[in-house]
């Protein structure tokens, strides 16, 4: 097959490597100057397994095995490869996330996990207060500083953590794909998706070049909706994508919660509406989990958004963090980044064919798919080969056996035609 991948983020690079290794001719068109410079570069890169769906758990657990083998996968020396930092991952119980259901899914997939009550949290992660503050509130709410109402328990997965450098992971994939024959063109913006007799025939670039291909994959991240409009494929989508702005803040780590301290897990905290993790340089990063009290920052044009952190969001996220980490000290000035998620209505991505023959989508990653990088290319390559060999996943969904864990994923979970599922947390947790 002759394949064009639109977008050289982590998703486009993953699928490029897998298809090149399978012997296909692959060309990645990326409009910026290098790989992984879009939302990938801003990723908090958290690797966790607590998803609200069976496929979410299975794929993330499979991907973790891939991170452990990453240097071998991308065939570079370990010192030149991105790396999984294992810190463990704690998610608090909350009406916003049913950890009971999730525990069942984790056990089914044989993911090691432990229930921690408040006492265990104090013992294992002494910096972290198990106080219950539900529901999340605006910092301007008079109730924000109200005393806690009880205590929380949570679910701990010791194998969770984060990847040290998401952009390096994209660069690793790009170099590996090039060694296997893939071609990358940077500063190449796709402006049209030409088609003939119901089949895609390639892409047109802004400089007038046409790249011919029988298969085109939309991996344009927050620009995915725009590319789907260019391709005229949205007619039968039950779920579409929309860019959402997010801020992630960075501040000095307290002395009792940092990378050198084994009691410093990554934390998902739906009780306060934040997530946080230790970071390099004695820092801590904190992001949001879309609590009901916060306005969602939808963006109409992904080329027009403020990339700087703002004082109101900084105050909300860091003050919530201070309730969870009582020893935290908050600097006066905001520090951090803002970037875009590519969000679907149920926060579950769309990895699928479309009604235009040869045109595929790997989109709607909803702030939660970086961790799945080591398996994404495999899933998409299986789906593309299945379809191009004559099967129709709309009628006969593909079931993929994951190579390392043996778990089975029903790819209709990621179908464009599957209505939004009520099982989802409808947040970045997926
Ligand atoms: C702030 C933030 C925190 C996150 N934290 C986590 C986390 O902790 N854990 C996790 O698992 N996931 C996380 N994610 C999500 C994860 O980073 C994304 O799911 C992933 O990076 C998406 O990769 P992508 O390749 O689809 O998109 P991108 O990295 O955005 O790549 C898409 C590429 O397409 C290119 N492009 C767009 N339009 C065109 C065009 N017309 N022609 C050519 N090229 C084009 C863009 O330039 C871009 O490089 C986070 C995301 C953000 C923004």
- Identify the helix (H) or strand (E) that includes residue 385: helix 373-388
Give pLDDT, residue 227.
Answer: 98
Q: What pLDDT is recorded for position 350?
A: 98
Quote the ligand 1 centre to 125 CA distance (angstroms): 32
DSSP 136: P
Q: How far is the CA of 268 from the centre of ligand 1 (A)?
A: 21
Q: Which residues contact 201 (CB under 8 A, 6 or more apart)?
A: 194, 195, 212, 213, 214
- 340 Cα–ligand 1 center, Å: 8
Residue nearest to atom 21 of ligand 1 (CA): 40
**178, 151, 56, 64: which is closest to 430 by C-alpha?**
56
Q: What is the dihedral of CA 87, 50, 132, 262, to 10 degrees?
A: -10
Distance CA 118, CA 405 (A): 32
The pair of structure tokens assigned to 47 is: 């690797």
CA of 9 to the centre of ligand 1 (A): 6
Expressed in angstroms and rounded, the spacing between residue 38 Cα and the centre of ligand 1 is 5
Strand residues in 9-107 grouped as ranges (E): 25-29, 46-47, 84-86, 89-92
Q: Which residues, other chains included, contact 260 with Cβ-Cβ below 8 Å and sequence gap of 6+? A: none
Tell me the Cα Rg of the chain: 21
- Atom of ligand 1 at shortest range from CA of 248: 1
Q: pLDDT at position 103, please?
A: 96
Choose one of 10, 38, 87 to mutate for the ligand 1 pocket test, by most ligand atoms within 8 angstroms of C-beta: 38
- Among 15, 211, 299, 370, name the best residue to mutate to test ligand 1's pocket (greatest count of ligand atoms within 8 A of Cβ): 370
- 71-101 burial by CB neighbour count: b if 16+ within 10 A, else e? bebbebeeeebbbbbbbbbbbbbbebbebee
| Atom 35, ligand 1: residue with shortest CA distance | 7
Q: Rounded to two decimals, what is the model's pTM?
A: 0.97
Residue 425's pLDDT is what?
A: 85
Q: Quick one: pLDDT at residue 33?
A: 98
Return d(Cα 310, Cα 337) in angstroms, integer: 9
Determine which residue's CA is closest to atom 45 belonging to ligand 1: 7
> Looking at ligand 1, which residue's alpha carbon is closest to its atom 52?
43
**Protein residue with least CA distance to atom 3, ligand 1:** 43
Contact at 8 Å (CB) between 14 and 173? yes
The residue whose CB lies within 8 Å of the most ligand 1 atoms, and thus the one to mutate among 4, 39, 160, 379, is: 39
Q: Per-residue pLDDT tens, the chain, 430 aa: give them.
A: 999 999 999 999 999 999 999 999 999 999 999 999 999 999 999 999 999 999 999 999 999 999 999 999 999 999 999 999 999 999 999 999 989 999 999 999 999 999 999 999 999 999 999 999 999 999 999 999 999 999 999 999 999 999 999 999 999 999 999 999 999 999 999 999 999 999 999 999 999 999 999 999 999 999 999 999 999 999 999 999 999 999 999 999 999 999 999 999 999 999 999 999 999 999 999 999 999 999 999 999 999 999 999 999 999 999 999 999 999 999 999 999 999 999 999 999 999 999 999 999 999 999 999 999 999 999 999 999 999 999 999 999 999 999 999 999 999 999 999 999 888 888 899 9
Ligand 1 mutation target, pool 46, 173, 225, 365, most atoms within 8 A of CB:
365
Which residues have any ligand 1 atom within 6 Å of their CB? 6-12, 29-32, 37-40, 42-46, 189-190, 219-223, 227, 246, 248, 339-341, 365, 367-371
**Nearest residue by C-alpha to atom 2 in ligand 1:** 43
pLDDT value of position 309: 97
> Which of 4, 8, 9 to mutate to test ligand 1, by most ligand atoms within 8 A of the CB atom?
9
């Amino acid at each position: 097959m002759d394949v064009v991948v639109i977008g050289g983020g982590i998703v486009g690079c993953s699928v490029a490597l897998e298809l090149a290794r399978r012997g296909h001719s692959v060309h990645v068109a990326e409009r910026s100057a290098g790989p992984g410079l879009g939302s990938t570069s801003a990723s908090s890169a958290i690797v966790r397994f607590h998803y609200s769906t069976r496929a979410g758990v299975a794929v993330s657990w499979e991907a973790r095995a891939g991170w452990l083998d990453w240097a071998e996968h991308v065939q570079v020396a370990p010192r030149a490869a991105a790396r999984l930092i294992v810190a463990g991952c704690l998610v608090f119980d909350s009406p916003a996330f049913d950890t009971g259901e999730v525990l069942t899914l984790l056990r089914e997939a044989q993911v090691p996990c432990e229930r921690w009550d408040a006492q265990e949290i104090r013992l294992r992660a002494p910096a972290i207060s198990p106080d219950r503050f539900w529901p999340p509130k605006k910092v301007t709410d008079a109730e924000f500083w109200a005393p806690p109402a009880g205590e929380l328990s949570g679910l701990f997965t010791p194998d969770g953590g984060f990847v040290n450098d998401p952009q390096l992971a994209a660069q690793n994939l790009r170099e590996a794909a090039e060694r296997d024959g893939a071609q990358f063109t940077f500063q190449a913006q796709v402006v049209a998706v030409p088609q003939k007799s119901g089949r895609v025939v390639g892409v047109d670039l802004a400089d007038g070049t046409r790249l011919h291909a029988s298969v085109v994959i939309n991996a344009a991240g927050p620009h995915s909706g725009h590319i789907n409009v260019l391709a005229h494929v949205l007619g039968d989508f039950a779920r579409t994508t929309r860019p959402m702005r997010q801020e992630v803040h960075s501040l000095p780590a307290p002395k009792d919660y940092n990378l050198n301290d084994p009691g410093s897990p990554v934390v998902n905290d739906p009780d306060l509406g934040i997530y946080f993790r230790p970071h390099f340089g004695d820092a801590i990063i904190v992001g949001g989990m879309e609590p009901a009290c916060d306005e969602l920052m939808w963006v109409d044009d992904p080329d027009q958004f403020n990339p700087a952190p703002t004082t109101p969001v900084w105050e909300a996220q860091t003050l919530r963090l201070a309730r969870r980490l009582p020893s935290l000290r908050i600097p006066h000035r905001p520090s951090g980044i803002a970037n875009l998620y590519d969000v679907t209505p149920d926060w579950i991505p769309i990895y699928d064919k479309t009604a235009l023959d040869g045109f595929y989508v790997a989109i709607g990653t909803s702030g939660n798919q970086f961790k799945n990088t080591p398996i994404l290319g495999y899933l998409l390559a299986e789906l593309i080969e299945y379809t191009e060999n004559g099967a129709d996943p709309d009628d006969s969904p593909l079931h993929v056996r994951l190579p390392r864990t043996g778990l089975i994923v029903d790819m209709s979970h990621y179908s464009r035609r599957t209505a939004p599922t009520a099982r989802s947390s409808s947040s970045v947790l997926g």
